[in-house]
């Protein structure tokens, strides 16, 4: 029987001075000490001392790191399973044990307890249930018995304080855990069963088979205000009827936990980085609208009009052309069908202010957007709108250009109403000369490289928009 | 039990290590143990008395003893080791999943990135790509607008890179997963937004207390309460002055472009490990959504493993991640260490960006997206003959007072521009006060509720200051 998983000298317990170097901070007869001894023995027997990380959250066992000669992490109240998961994911080879009391596991940390159990990753949760808060001095625990008198249930626990939470049963009905057992410490037989359960739980983790939960009914003689002998009897006679002992769940699962090692291959990361590299025009950029060093656009419509896609396409095309460009989307709260506005800046140098409070160019896909933003377009600006859905031109001073193009109708004519945003881009290009058409088309091709079947329709839409404008007005 | 060999070793007890709980008495089937009668002079407790004439070495008393150094098998007796010798764990359970390291401190590796054209990315994506290049393969979070795209990109990419994205049950769980992975010595991060950041503060205090690295990208939105999902800068107070309970500070970066979202996220990881402290990257809702051009660095990082990591292997076995220090002098000393670290950050990590400040008399102070509106306003003001400049703090904590101080002699007016009712100005005034320098008049443009200060109103305020001076 090996107990060498404990430190030879408890340096962390009051600097190991005097008796504290060899005795625990637990009260006489406390169940924690027995669980500690069993756990230490089992870790030693299974040969995993050099792989074990023990998580000790707030509660009497917060100082478990005084004693266990393994990797130790002390956690916030209730959060031990989350910390344990963080360790397991960082180092899947580690044997991670979350050692928690009843307040920690079944009260403040209930969400972590359940959600992390449901993930089913192979970690071991040891739940020491002594039906009372120890560290804070004998208050009501989520597992206190009905009628039990504590510092905060002075006349005894009533239903209004909640009923005792049967954690092992609760955990067993979850799909995540593979093994759930409730054990006790009140006699030699129970202690042997407890040790066996702890060993099995760790073994399931070592073999990568899954999550295990061991609830230990333990004695807190101090706060039960009983001798250890009476506390043992109390657990046996009072707790066990409420918290029946035994295996609650025991699945046969093949080892499955074999996570891949993290990859640091540059090509792989670049390939996944969410955007295609842009082939930037190395020639110095020439502004296509003379006199404007920074062109500011607003594309506005309803969700589904394609304002954001058109805006992003414009920004990418501008960057590829050698300009600086930005795009900021703004949405209403609806996931679909709400307002959708896009601010775009294209600058020969650096975009200073990316907002489009006073857009040089407004592209409006519907009447509310036109009404909202037409007034913000400064003198000399352009208002381009979908004349299919907006039948009345906006009333603006005559020093603003106003151009209605039937985006929707033109898109319908090529049987794809959804490409009205590309029609709008064609119209915009023809009306302003903003960016060479070939640059917009090449950016379009790049964006659609995974959907090549959509390309002809989009190219047709762009040309249709261009032609519509060219037939209506002389290009400035 | 009776047929056990008589030579089986018997328990012994050092009386000072017995607390007299008597649990062993019930455990012994042969009644070898009796309650003591004498108070132990060292402990003041009454240890049990062993009468081992009838003992057959069943060890049931040892299993009942809660004290590690209480009842034990007589080490002088020997013999047990042989009977209980274990098989090689590798034979029983197969090879360990991850090779344990034999050295305590494994250095990071720089891996060159191929030359690459710039990417066009939104702010949250740029931060996510930065994190990947900084070696981060563990991201935990909870969906919250307007930060979620960063997490979504990670959810897409990390499984293909042998990493982990976990959607936690709450931000509280997420920050504690970070505590675990950061405590194990690996880079870890989250994407969150203001209400989520509030929930993480307790965990951040624990991380600071336990000296655990981790990067928090907080895309600030309108508050208080549920507020709205539009941009604000009202977590400056939290990040600079309110990182949970206790004596806490962390470096706070305020990027203003997608490029800086990438660059500063990379720096945040490096500094998080240098100081063993969390780092906060504060963006605003606009910046998170803003798409712009992003150039990649020349290298990516493959993280090593620091000597302090709680990895669980032999080299790191003695390590402890911990924030509880029960003795008052210990906790005071721990805080002195933290203070020394904060002082080092304050001295070495101030960052700012100066735009047309060389002869600026009107100094606009702004960060994040409002700094870009301010830049536009400064440019127009200059074209109208006003000597305006933009002082943009890149670190909000520490406030870059060193660079600001140098500009002050020529400055006649400061205009603080922010999407908050004065949180940036508070940081500025506090820094000026600590620096004990004469402060020029300060005025401001403040918008909030999800509305950013516009270039036109900043320009108007700059021009007003000229009117006042004339």
Residue B104 belongs to a domain: no
Task: Provide the pLDDT for residue B79.
Answer: 42
Beta-strand ranges (E) seen in B24-108 are 33-34, 49-50, 72-73
Distance separating alpha carbons of residues B54 and A214, to the nearest angstrom: 35
Structure tokens at A10: 């408890």
Residues B154 and B248 in one domain: yes
pLDDT digits 0-9 by tens, B385-429: 999 999 999 999 999 999 999 999 999 999 999 999 999 999 999
Distance separating alpha carbons of residues A60 and A134, to the nearest angstrom: 6
Residue B251 belongs to a domain: yes
Q: What is the CATH number of the domain that holds B73?
A: 3.30.70.20
Residue A304 three-state SS:
coil
Residue B25 belongs to a domain: yes
Task: Provide the pLDDT for residue B210.
Answer: 98
Given B84, B117, B149, the domain boundary residue is: B84
pLDDT band, residue B105 (cuts 50/70/90): confident
- Segment B47-63 shows an average pLDDT of 94
Task: Provide the pLDDT for residue A171.
Answer: 98
Least confident of A226-235, B80-89, B172-181: B80-89
Q: Which of A5, A30, A58, A83 is most worth mutating to test chain B (most B CB atoms within 10 A of its CB)? A: A83
Task: Provide the pLDDT for residue A293.
Answer: 81
* Residue pairs spanning A and B at CB distance below 8 A: 372
| Cβ neighbours for B422, distance < 8 A, ≥ 6 positions apart | B416, B444, B446
Say if B239 is an interface residue toward chain A (CB within 8 Å). no
Structure tokens at A465: 């928009």
Strand partners, B218: B192, B282
Q: Is the pLDDT of residue B85 over 50?
A: no
Residue bearing tokens 């209930």:
A110
Q: pLDDT: is B17 or B92 the higher one?
A: B17
Q: Is the pLDDT of residue B83 over 50?
A: no
| Cβ neighbours for A405, distance < 8 A, ≥ 6 positions apart | A384, A385, A386, A387, A423, A424, A427, A465, A468, A469, A472
Distance separating alpha carbons of residues A124 and A206, to the nearest angstrom: 10
Task: Provide the pLDDT for residue A307.
Answer: 94
Mean of the per-residue pLDDT values for chain B? 92
pLDDT digits 0-9 by tens, B348-388: 999 999 999 999 999 999 999 999 999 999 999 999 999 99
Structure tokens at A282: 């190395």
Structure tokens at B468: 């006042």
Say if B31 is an interface residue toward chain A (CB within 8 Å). no
Residues B175 and B276 in one domain: yes
Residues B362 and B454 in one domain: yes
Residues B321 and B368 in one domain: no
Distance separating alpha carbons of residues B126 and A230, to the nearest angstrom: 63
Contacts of B121 in chain A (CB under 8 A): 273-275
Give the domain range for residue B74: 11-84
Contacts of B89 in chain A (CB under 8 A): 46-48, 206
pLDDT digits 0-9 by tens, A247-281: 999 999 999 999 999 999 998 998 887 555 556 66
Domain count of the fold of chain B: 3
Q: Which of B171, B177, B311 is most worth mutating to test chain A (most A CB atoms within 10 A of its CB)? A: B177
Partner-chain residue, chosen from B116, B125, B160, that has the shortest CB–CB distance to A277: B116
H helices of B326-445, in order, are 328-348, 368-383, 401-407, 423-435
Residue B99 belongs to a domain: no
Q: Is the pLDDT of residue B100 over 90?
A: no
- Segment B334-361 shows an average pLDDT of 98
Nearest Cα residue to B135 out of B307, B308, B312, B304: B304
Contact B382, B409 (CB under 8 A): no
Q: Is the pLDDT of residue B3 over 80?
A: no
Residue B26 belongs to a domain: yes
Strand partners, B130: none
Strand partners, B353: B392
Distance of CA A298 to the CA centre of its chain: 33
Residues B79 and B118 in one domain: no
- How far lies B127's CA from each of A226, A265, B199, in Å? 58, 19, 21
Annotate B172-196 with b (16+ C-beta within 10 A) or e (fewer). bbbbbbbbbbbbbbbbbbbbbbbbb
Structure tokens at A280: 């930037």
Q: Is the pLDDT of residue B80 over 80?
A: no
Distance of CA B138 to the CA centre of its chain: 13
Structure tokens at A137: 């001095």
Distance separating alpha carbons of residues B180 and B310, to the nearest angstrom: 9
pLDDT tens digits for chain A (476 residues)?
444 799 999 999 999 999 999 999 999 999 999 999 999 999 999 999 999 999 999 999 999 999 999 999 999 999 999 999 999 999 999 999 999 999 999 999 999 999 999 999 999 999 999 999 999 999 999 999 999 999 999 999 999 999 999 999 999 999 999 999 999 999 999 999 999 999 999 999 999 999 999 999 999 999 999 999 999 999 999 999 999 999 999 999 999 999 999 999 998 998 887 555 556 665 645 545 555 688 999 999 998 899 999 999 999 999 988 899 999 998 766 666 688 999 999 998 899 999 999 999 999 999 999 999 999 999 999 999 999 999 988 888 999 999 999 999 999 999 888 999 999 999 999 999 889 999 999 999 988 988 999 999 999 999 999 999 999 865 44
Annotate A433-456 with b (16+ C-beta within 10 A) or e (fewer). ebbebebbbebbebbeeeeeeeee
Q: How far is B399 from chain A (nearest CA, A)?
A: 23
Backbone φ, ψ for residue B391 (5° rounding): -105, 115
Q: What is the CATH number of the domain that holds B205?
A: 3.40.50.970
Q: How far is B167 from chain A (nearest CA, A)?
A: 10
From the number of C-beta atoms within 10 Å of its C-beta (0-12, 13-18, 19+), residue B89 rates as middle
**DSSP letters along B149-205, please?**
HHHHHHHHHGGGGT-EEEE-SSHHHHHHHHHHHHHTT--EEEEEEHHHHHHHHHHHH
Residues B217 and B306 in one domain: yes
Q: Is the pLDDT of residue B126 over 90?
A: yes
- Segment B260-280 shows an average pLDDT of 98
Greatest pairwise CA separation for chain A in angstroms: 101
Residue B121 belongs to a domain: yes
pLDDT band, residue B347 (cuts 50/70/90): very high
Residues B357 and B442 in one domain: yes
Say if B64 is an interface residue toward chain A (CB within 8 Å). yes
Contact B397, B427 (CB under 8 A): yes
Q: What is the CATH number of the domain that holds B378?
A: 3.40.50.920
Task: Provide the pLDDT for residue A476.
Answer: 45
Give the homologous superfamily in CATH for domain A14-250.
Thiamin diphosphate (ThDP)-binding fold, Pyr/PP domains (3.40.50.970)
CATH 3.40.920.10 given to domain A286-472: yes
Task: Provide the pLDDT for residue B95.
Answer: 56
Task: Provide the pLDDT for residue B383.
Answer: 95
Distance separating alpha carbons of residues B67 and B11, to the nearest angstrom: 13
Enumerate residues 80 to 139 of chain B having a beta carbon within 8 A of any beta carbon in chain A: 80, 84, 86, 88-89, 92-94, 96-100, 109, 111-114, 116-121, 125, 128-129, 132-133, 135, 137-138
Q: Across the interface, do B68 and A208 touch by the CB < 8 Å criterion?
A: no
Residue bearing tokens 């109708």:
A409
Task: Provide the pLDDT for residue A196.
Answer: 98
Say if B300 is an interface residue toward chain A (CB within 8 Å). yes
Residues B242 and B335 in one domain: yes
Nearest Cα residue to A77 out of A49, A107, A37, A50: A107
Residues B136 and B159 in one domain: yes
Say if B203 is an interface residue toward chain A (CB within 8 Å). yes
Where along chain A do its domains lie?
A: 14-250, 286-472
| Cβ neighbours for B157, distance < 8 A, ≥ 6 positions apart | A269, A272, A273, A274, B128, B132, B163
Task: Provide the pLDDT for residue A472.
Answer: 84
Q: Crossing angle of helices A420-432/A307-320, nearest 10°?
A: 50
Task: Provide the pLDDT for residue A273.
Answer: 79
Q: Are strands A294-302 and B72-73 parallel, antiparallel or unpaired?
A: unpaired
Task: Provide the pLDDT for residue A417.
Answer: 86
Contacts of A206 in chain B (CB under 8 A): 89, 93
């Amino acid at each position: 029987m090996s107990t060498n998983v404990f430190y030879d000298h408890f340096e962390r317990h009051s600097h190991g001075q005097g008796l504290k170097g060899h005795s625990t901070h637990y009260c006489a007869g406390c169940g924690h000490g027995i669980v500690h001894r069993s756990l230490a023995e089992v870790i030693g027997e299974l040969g995993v001392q050099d792989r074990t990380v023990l998580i000790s959250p707030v509660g009497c066992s917060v100082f478990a790191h005084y004693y266990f000669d393994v990797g130790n992490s002390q956690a916030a109240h209730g959060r031990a399973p989350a910390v344990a998961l963080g360790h397991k994911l960082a180092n899947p080879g580690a044997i991670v044990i979350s050692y928690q009391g009843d307040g920690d596991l079944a009260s403040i940390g209930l969400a972590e307890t359940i959600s992390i159990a449901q993930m089913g990753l192979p970690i071991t949760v040891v739940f020491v249930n002594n039906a009372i808060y120890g560290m804070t001095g004998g208050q009501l625990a989520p597992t206190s018995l009905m009628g039990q008198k504590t510092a905060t249930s002075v006349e005894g626990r009533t239903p209004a304080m909640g009923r005792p939470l049967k954690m092992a049963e609760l955990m067993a009905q979850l799909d995540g855990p593979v093994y759930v057992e409730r054990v006790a410490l009140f006699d030699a037989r129970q202690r042997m069963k407890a040790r066996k359960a702890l060993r099995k739980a760790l073994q399931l983790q070592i073999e990568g088979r899954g999550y295990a939960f061991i609830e230990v009914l333990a004695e807190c003689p101090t706060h039960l205000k009983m001798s250890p002998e009476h506390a043992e009897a109390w657990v046996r006679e009072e707790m066990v009827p409420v918290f029946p002992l035994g295996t609650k769940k025991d699945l046969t699962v093949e080892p499955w936990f074999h996570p891949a090692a993290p990859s640091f291959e540059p090509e792989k990361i670049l390939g996944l980085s969410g955007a295609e590299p842009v082939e930037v025009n190395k020639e110095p950029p020439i502004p296509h609208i003379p006199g404007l060093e920074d062109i500011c656009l607003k594309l506005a419509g309803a969700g589904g009009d394609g304002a954001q896609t058109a805006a992003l396409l414009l920004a990418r095309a501008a960057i590829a052309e050698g300009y600086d460009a930005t795009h900021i989307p703004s949405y209403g709260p609806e996931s679909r069908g709400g307002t959708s506005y896009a601010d775009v800046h294209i600058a020969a140098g650096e975009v200073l202010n990316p907002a489009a409070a006073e857009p040089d160019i407004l592209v409006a896909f519907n009447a509310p957007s036109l009404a909202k933003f037409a007034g913000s377009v400064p003198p000399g600006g352009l208002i381009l709108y979908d004349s299919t859905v907006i039948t009345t031109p906006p009333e603006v001073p005559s020093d603003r250009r106003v151009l209605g193009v039937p985006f929707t109708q033109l898109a319908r004519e090529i049987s794809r109403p959804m490409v009205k945003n590309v029609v709008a881009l064609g119209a915009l290009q023809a009306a302003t000369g903003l960016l060479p058409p070939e640059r917009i088309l090449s950016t379009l091709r790049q964006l659609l490289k995974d959907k090549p079947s959509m390309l002809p329709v989009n190219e047709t839409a762009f040309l249709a928009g261009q032609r519509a404008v060219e037939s209506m007005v002389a290009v400035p | 039990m009776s047929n056990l060999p008589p030579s089986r070793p018997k328990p012994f007890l050092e009386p000072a290590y017995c607390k007299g709980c008597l649990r062993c008495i019930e455990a012994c089937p042969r009644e070898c143990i009796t309650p003591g009668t004498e108070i132990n002079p060292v402990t003041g407790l009454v240890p049990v008395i062993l009468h081992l004439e009838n003992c057959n070495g069943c060890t049931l008393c040892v299993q009942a003893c809660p004290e590690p150094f209480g009842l034990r098998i007589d080490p002088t007796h020997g013999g047990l080791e042989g009977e209980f010798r274990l098989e090689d764990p590798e034979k029983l359970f197969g090879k360990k999943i991850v090779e344990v390291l034999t050295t305590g401190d494994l250095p990071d590796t720089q891996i060159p990135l191929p030359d690459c054209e710039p990417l066009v990315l939104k702010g949250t994506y740029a931060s996510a790509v930065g994190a990947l290049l900084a070696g981060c393969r563990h991201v935990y979070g909870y969906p919250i607008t307007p930060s979620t795209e960063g997490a979504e990109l990670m959810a897409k990419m990390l499984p293909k890179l042998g990493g982990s994205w976990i959607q936690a049950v709450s931000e509280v769980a997420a920050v504690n997963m970070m505590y675990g992975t950061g405590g194990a010595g690996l880079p870890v991060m989250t994407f969150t937004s203001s209400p989520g950041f509030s929930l993480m503060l307790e965990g951040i205090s624990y991380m600071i207390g336990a000296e655990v690295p981790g990067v928090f990208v907080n895309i600030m939105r309108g508050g208080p309460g549920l507020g709205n999902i539009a941009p604000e800068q009202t977590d400056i107070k939290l990040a600079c002055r309110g990182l949970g309970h206790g004596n806490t500070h962390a470096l706070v970066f305020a990027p203003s472009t997608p490029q800086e979202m990438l660059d500063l996220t990379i720096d945040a990881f490096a500094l998080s490990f240098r100081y063993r402290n969390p780092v906060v990257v504060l963006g605003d809702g606009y910046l998170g959504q803003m798409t712009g051009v992003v150039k990649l660095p020349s290298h990516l990082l493959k993280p090593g493993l620091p000597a302090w990591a709680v990895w669980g292997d032999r080299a790191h076995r003695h390590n402890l991640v911990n924030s509880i220090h029960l003795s008052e002098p210990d906790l005071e000393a721990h805080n002195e260490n933290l203070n020394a670290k904060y002082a080092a950050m304050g001295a070495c990590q101030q960052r700012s960006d100066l735009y047309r400040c060389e002869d600026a008399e009107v100094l606009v102070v702004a960060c994040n997206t409002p700094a870009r509106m301010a830049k536009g306003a400064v440019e127009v003001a200059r074209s109208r003959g006003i000597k305006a400049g933009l002082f943009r703090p890149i670190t909000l904590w520490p406030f870059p007072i060193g660079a600001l101080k140098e500009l002050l002699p020529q400055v006649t007016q400061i205009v603080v521009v922010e999407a908050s009712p004065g949180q940036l100005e508070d940081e500025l005034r506090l820094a000026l006060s600590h620096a004990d320098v004469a402060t020029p008049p300060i005025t401001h443009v403040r918008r909030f509720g999800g509305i950013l200060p516009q270039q036109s109103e900043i320009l108007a305020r700059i021009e007003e200051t000229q009117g006042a001076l004339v």
